Structure 1
Amino acid sequence: MRRVAFLLIFGLAGTALLVGLGVWQVQRLNWKAAILAEIDSRISGPAIALPADPDPARDRYLGVEVTGEILPGEVLVLVSRKQIGAGYRVIAPFLTGDGRRILLDRGFIRAADRDAPRDTGPVTVTGNLDWPREIDRFTPAPDLDGGVWFARDVPAMAQALGTDPVLLVARTGTGPDPMPVDSSGIPNDHLNYAITWFSLAAIWAAMTGYFLWRNRARTEGDRT
């Protein structure tokens, strides 16, 4: 009897724990979906003037329209695009009409076009502010001699190009093919996690039932 009670308690406790983890992941799924919806709303919202003092937390993804001048000089960030292959994001210094210098992500060029001339000068750009989180401990340092960067490190790029640490990612064409901000790179894997936990709960419950049945069958066999 004690063995049955132990198996029952252990089985119910394990199943409840796994179901609880699955429910928690469903809650996280809804939370993340709401965040992504808010991000998409900010990305597609109407463009406004560049804030006087852009804040990375408050103004990330904010739609902005600025008139100014693309200045000479750029850094190239190595990227890859589906069905195209390797290429570069072109990051250039941009002088706004009110005299501020910011970074402008002009978009994508193919690797073969690296040394092709790109227009500079007056332009009106519509885009979104972003402070990408692309740096981790595995990211190589920029190849300054080769002119290649491996991630958009806004403070470091700003220092290299003599701008404020503010990045405007163009929606409209500025020469290269635009790579506008979107939420597709923000993962929301909580549904997969929830399915995993609920599946484990079902397996745990089934195994508990099996062990209880086997214990009962063994007990009845001993009696006979």
Structure 2
Amino acid sequence: MRRVIFLLIIGGAGLAILIGLGTWQLQRKAWKEDLLQTIEVSIAAAPAALPQAPVKEQDRYRAVTVEGEIEGNALHVFWVTKDAETGYRVIAPFVTTDGRRVLLDRGFIPAAEKTTSLSSGQAAVTGNLLWPDEGDWTTPAPEVDTNILYSRDVAYMAERLNTEPVLIVARSAAPEAAVTPQAVTTAGIPNNHLQYAITWFSLAFIWAAMTVYFLRRSRP
């Protein structure tokens, strides 16, 4: 009898925990979907003027439009497109008409065109503010001699190019240059909570089946 009670307690507790984790992941899924929808609205909103003092928490993904001058010196961030093409994102200083210096992600160039000179000078740019979360402890250090970075570290790039720590990711620019804009999207933001929920519920089913199996074996 004690064995049966023990199995019921362990089985019930484990089942409750696993079902709870699955339910929590479904709640997280709903939260993530709402978040993605909010981000998509921000990305697609009508572009406005660049805020005087952008704040990451409230201005991330904000659509902006700026006019000014693209400077010729640029940083190259190693990149692989969704089509598995390797190349670089071109990050250049942008001087607005009111004298502010910010970072501009002009877009993607193939690796073979790294040494190709891109047009600079007066331009009108529409894009989105972004503070990318790309680097971690495994990210290689920047290669200063070859001008290759491995993440868009806004603070580092701003220091290198003497700009504000503000990054505009272009979705269009006039005049156009030999660079492909890589507009901000939600495609890179993971939403795997449904898979996690299925995993927890599957484990709950297995746990329940094992509990029933051992209970039957415990019968006299």
TM-score tier, shorter chain, comes to: over 0.9
| Aligned mates of 1:10, 1:133 — CA distance in 2 | 41
Amino acid at match of 2:17: L
| Structure 1 residue 82 displacement after superposition | 3.1
Structure 1 residue runs of 5 or longer lacking an equivalent are 220-224
| Aligned mates of 1:16, 1:47 — CA distance in 2 | 48
Amino acid at match of 2:143: D
Answering whether residue 55 of structure 2 is matched by residue 55 of structure 1, we say: yes
| Aligned mates of 1:50, 1:71 — CA distance in 2 | 18
Q: Deviations for 1:64-90, whole angstroms, at most 9, x for unmatched residues? A: 001111112000000011335210000
Amino acid at match of 1:53: A
Aligned to 2:116: 116
SS in 1 for 2:218: helix
Larger radius of gyration: 1
| Aligned mates of 1:47, 1:112 — CA distance in 2 | 33
Structure 2 residue runs of 5 or longer lacking an equivalent are none
1:126-137 counterparts in 2 under 5 A?
126-137=126-137
Aligned to 1:16: 16
Amino acid at match of 2:192: D
Matched positions, count: 217
Answering whether residue 140 of structure 2 is matched by residue 146 of structure 1, we say: no
Aligned to 1:31: 31
| Aligned mates of 1:68, 1:82 — CA distance in 2 | 31
Percent identity for Structure 1 against Structure 2:
54
| Aligned mates of 2:82, 2:3 — CA distance in 1 | 58
| Aligned mates of 2:82, 2:107 — CA distance in 1 | 15
| Aligned mates of 1:84, 1:115 — CA distance in 2 | 21
| Structure 1 residue 116 displacement after superposition | 1.1
- The CA RMSD measured in Å over matched residues stands at 1.0
Q: 1:22 to 1:115 in 2, by over 3 A?
A: same
Answering whether residue 196 of structure 2 is matched by residue 193 of structure 1, we say: yes
Answering whether residue 215 of structure 2 is matched by residue 212 of structure 1, we say: yes
Answering whether residue 166 of structure 2 is matched by residue 163 of structure 1, we say: no
Per the normalisation by structure 2, the TM-score is: 0.96
| Structure 1 residue 36 displacement after superposition | 1.0
Aligned to 1:222: none
| Aligned mates of 1:114, 1:171 — CA distance in 2 | 21
| Structure 1 residue 125 displacement after superposition | 0.4
Q: 2:62 touches 2:129 (CA, 8 Å); kept in 1?
A: yes
Q: 1:83 to 1:186 in 2, by over 3 A?
A: closer
1:64-79 counterparts in 2 under 5 A?
64-79=64-79
Per the normalisation by structure 1, the TM-score is: 0.94
SS in 2 for 1:106: strand
Aligned to 1:107: 107
Amino acid at match of 2:154: V
Which 4+ runs in 1 deviate beyond 3 A?
none
Aligned to 2:45: 45
SS in 2 for 1:206: helix
Q: 2:72 touches 2:118 (CA, 8 Å); kept in 1?
A: no
Q: Deviations for 1:115-173, whole angstroms, at most 9, x for unmatched residues? A: 11111111110000001111211111110001111110111111111111100000014
Q: 2:76 touches 2:149 (CA, 8 Å); kept in 1?
A: yes
Amino acid at match of 1:51: P
| Aligned mates of 1:134, 1:35 — CA distance in 2 | 19
Q: 2:126 touches 2:170 (CA, 8 Å); kept in 1?
A: yes
| Aligned mates of 2:98, 2:82 — CA distance in 1 | 38
